[in-house]
Structure 1
Amino acid sequence: MAGASDNGGWSSDGGSPDDLPDLPEEWGVIVIPDDLSELSDEVDAVRAELRLADPPTRWQRFARRPAMRKLRRAAATTLRAPVLIISLAVLVTVASLFASAWPGPPRQPVTQRTANSTPEPATTLPALELVSADGQTVPLRGRLPAVILLVDGCACTGLVSDTIDAVGPEIAVITVSAAEASASTVGTPPTGATPPANGKTVQILNDPTGSLRSHLHLGTPDTTAAAVLVDRGFRIVRMVPRTASVEDFRGDLARL
């Protein structure tokens, strides 16, 4: 076996020189023969293993280049964000489907208004302008509280007279008709807002378009009148769609 001077600084007893690290312990004891021909069996075995592996193709050699490895790492890093976003979108979609299919509390059925349903009654007197007996425009809300009598098609002389007698001096009586009314029709003098002899305020107004009846959702005129009791705050206290007697609303006059 070669001496320490013949093997590049290694000692003859198998130890390592001072400036080189020790060999791994798992390698065991390594013996370097003086005659390298003794390693011919190991050389033949290694050559046989190398011959079994297929030679790399041109594409494999191209893919193993350092530039291609860097490109593959960059592409993998770039694809991570879209894949993460798509995964989150799929999870949110699945959660939404489960939430929509999950039975919730029962809902109350919504009542739909049909053509035959009765509209809700008005609660406030509309701000309309009607025409007085002398042709002047008069605001309907200009004199409140009031009892408004819609007298279209009604021979309401007795009803109007009884209403004037039943109200106090602070409550006006307003008669409204679609056609031009006369004093003989309603039983009151043809004045816009002139107090009669008994100190009551009476207005005779004309509503040629029937806007008040439409706003209040009243039916078509018949032989009866419609009475609307309105307080100072424009609030409708009582509405009688069909009446021929003051007794139908006498008890509500005190609320005006």
Structure 2
Amino acid sequence: MAGASDNGGWSSDGGSPDDLPDLPEEWGVIVIPDDLSALSDEVDAVRAELRLTGPTTRWQRLMRRPAARKLRRIGTAAMRAPVLIISLAVLVTVASLFASAWPGPPRQPAVQRTASAAPERVQTLPALELVASDGQMVPLRGRLPAVILLVDGCACTALISDTIDAVGPEIAVITVSTLAASASAVGTPPTGATPQANGKTVRMLNDPAGSLRTHLRLADPDTTAAAVLVDRGTNIIRVVPRTLSTDDFRSDLARL
């Protein structure tokens, strides 16, 4: 029987020499065949793996260095921020498109303002001076409240008479024409402002330039009269562009 030295330091019973550690248990039982040709399959597999791997190039060796790996990590981190910003921008754009296309709650229809709903601007009587029947200049606002009748082209004797009967003693009746007319033509006494026997005031004034009709934006004269009701504060309460009867404004006399 050969000694330990004859077997290269291994004992004759197959055990490990005293100065070498045992093989790891997870390796299992290792069998070394007597004929090495039995390991040809394993040799072919290892050779094929080595051929696939191939020799490393200079560029691969360079990229495997610690400095190159550090640069790769920095580049990867630098690319993450732009990618994240672009992704957020795309998400916000898509969300806004969905929000604009998504039908929202029905809106209440806006209340349409009409001329009747809007507060009406109060028109005031212009401060004109007209010519009385005696040739004197008389302020149109000198006697208020009043019913002013523009009588150009109108045979308005009945209308003037009915208006005088319809108003109270505190309301004056003023007739205005662009042509100087005689007192008998309109049925009024030839005075600028003379109290009548029944306690009512009637004025007959001449407006040669037609300033009052222009200011009130009234149409051209025809066979009817225009009635303007003015309160004590010079506010125009009612304008009747065409009338031949006091019934058209009788209900508004109480507002004077």
Secondary structure of 1:163's match? helix
Alignment partners' CA distance in 2, 1:151 and 1:121: 26
* Partner deviation per Cα, 1:123-174 (whole Å, 9 max, x = no partner): 1100100000000000000100000000000000000000000000000000
* Structure 1 match to 2:159: 159
* 2:211 matches 1:211: yes
Q: Please state how far the C-alpha of 1:196 moved relative to its aligned partner.
A: 1.5
Q: Please state how far the C-alpha of 1:241 moved relative to its aligned partner.
A: 0.3
Q: What amino acid is the match of 1:252?
A: D
Alignment partners' CA distance in 2, 1:186 and 1:219: 21
Q: Would the aligned equivalents of 2:152 and 2:221 in 1 still touch at CA under 8 Å?
A: yes
* Structure 1 match to 2:249: 249
Q: How does 1:153-192 map to 2 (within 5 A)?
A: 153-192=153-192
Secondary structure of 2:188's match? coil
Alignment partners' CA distance in 2, 1:146 and 1:178: 19
Root-mean-square deviation over aligned CA pairs: 1.4
Pick closer, same or farther for the CA change 1:166–1:127 going to 2, 3 Å: same
Aligned residues: 137
Q: What amino acid is the match of 1:181?
A: A
Alignment partners' CA distance in 2, 1:187 and 1:198: 15
User: Over alpha carbons, which structure has the higher Rg?
Assistant: 2
Q: Please state how far the C-alpha of 1:188 moved relative to its aligned partner.
A: 1.0
Q: What amino acid is the match of 1:209?
A: A
Alignment partners' CA distance in 2, 1:121 and 1:217: 15
* Structure 2 match to 1:41: none
* Partner deviation per Cα, 1:213-238 (whole Å, 9 max, x = no partner): 00000000000000000001110000
Q: Would the aligned equivalents of 1:121 and 1:216 in 2 still touch at CA under 8 Å?
A: no
TM-score, with length taken from structure 2: 0.52
Alignment partners' CA distance in 1, 2:221 and 2:187: 19
Q: Please state how far the C-alpha of 1:251 moved relative to its aligned partner.
A: 0.3
Gaps of 5+ in 2: 1-119
Alignment partners' CA distance in 1, 2:216 and 2:121: 7
Alignment partners' CA distance in 2, 1:215 and 1:121: 15
Secondary structure of 1:174's match? strand
Alignment partners' CA distance in 2, 1:121 and 1:204: 29
* 2:179 matches 1:199: no
Alignment partners' CA distance in 2, 1:176 and 1:214: 13
Secondary structure of 1:165's match? helix
Alignment partners' CA distance in 2, 1:127 and 1:162: 27
Q: How does 1:46-195 map to 2 (within 5 A)?
A: 123-195=123-195
* Partner deviation per Cα, 1:178-198 (whole Å, 9 max, x = no partner): 000211221111111111111
* Partner deviation per Cα, 1:15-54 (whole Å, 9 max, x = no partner): xxxxxxxxxxxxxxxxxxxxxxxxxxxxxxxxxxxxxxxx
* 2:226 matches 1:226: yes
Percent of aligned positions with the same letter in both sequences? 80
Alignment partners' CA distance in 2, 1:200 and 1:250: 17
* Structure 2 match to 1:73: none
Secondary structure of 2:240's match? strand
Alignment partners' CA distance in 1, 2:159 and 2:198: 17
Q: What amino acid is the match of 1:251?
A: S
Alignment partners' CA distance in 2, 1:241 and 1:221: 10
* Structure 1 match to 2:237: 237
Q: What amino acid is the match of 2:151?
A: V
Gaps of 5+ in 1: 1-119
TM-score, with length taken from structure 1: 0.52
* Structure 1 match to 2:27: none
Q: What amino acid is the match of 2:152?
A: D
Alignment partners' CA distance in 2, 1:185 and 1:245: 18
Alignment partners' CA distance in 1, 2:189 and 2:132: 12
Q: Please state how far the C-alpha of 1:121 moved relative to its aligned partner.
A: 9.0
